[in-house]
Amino acid sequence: MLKIKNLTKKFDNFTAIEGINLSLERGDFFSIIGPNGSGKTTIIKNILGLLRPTTGEIEVDGKNIVKEPKEAKMKMGYIPDEPKMWSKITGKEALYFFGTLYGMKKEEITEKIPELLSHFELNGIEDKYFENYSRGNKQKFAILAALLHNPDLILVDEPIVGLDPDSAEIAMNLLQDFTKKGGAVFMATHTLPVAEKYSTEVGVLHLGKLKKIGHIQKLSSEMGKEDADLLEIYHYFSKND
């Protein structure tokens, strides 16, 4: 579903990420962990085509993001860490807008919106302007927009920021259900308990380099422990090659 080969991104003389290699299959829920400035968002923006790789290749379901950008982007959904939308557009209008961008017919969008709204009990506020939504409700609409067109891959940058605990659990369960139905999730997060609970694999990113990839139990065993938590795993592999 996602193949990244030797991905490097430089900004002038600064190397943000270097030599990133990873592969996701359908059903994978991959979480990349690392401190601020380690390159998590840079990787996501390269996958999305918002940034152009300095070197390396990215394929989404066999479509090269540089050579076939439209085809690759049609297969993806994106949940940013800071949901932004025009202030004078309603939640429903935003969903129609994004659905149309992905080639959905109006009838398809109309049929799917009530189901999506019901996940977060948003029925009743979908006709209000974005400027009147709370931070959490803006994030909920961003999550629903990413799911609307039935993508193959969802990229997530801190999905539960601004959400109350119940809504955060709903959001993560939606993403997990998405992988169970054959999709793949690539998530960047600082919320280690969430990554620990939902991920099939994690990647440890440090100073722009992907130091280790693997299932949490496997990485724990490599440390010589059977029950290491994700924080211990991060500290161990970020300091060791």
Residue 241's pLDDT is 62
Polymer length of the chain: 241
What is the rounded average pLDDT of the residues 34-43? 92
Q: Which tens digits make up the pLDDT trace of 1-26?
A: 999 999 999 999 999 999 999 999 99
Helix (H, G, I), strand (E, B) or coil at 191: coil
Cβ pair 212, 56 in contact under 8 A:
no
Greater confidence (149 vs 226) lies with 149
2-75+153-238 topology per CATH: Rossmann fold (3.40.50)
> Considering the entire predicted model, what is its pTM?
0.94
Domain parsing of the chain, residue ranges: 2-75+153-238, 86-150
Looking at residue 24, its amino acid is: L
Provide mean pLDDT across the span 114-118.
94
- Stretch 193-217: mean pLDDT: 94
- Mean pLDDT (whole number) for 160-185: 94
Residue 130: how many CB atoms within 10 A of its CB? 19
Name the 3-class secondary structure at 127. Answer: coil
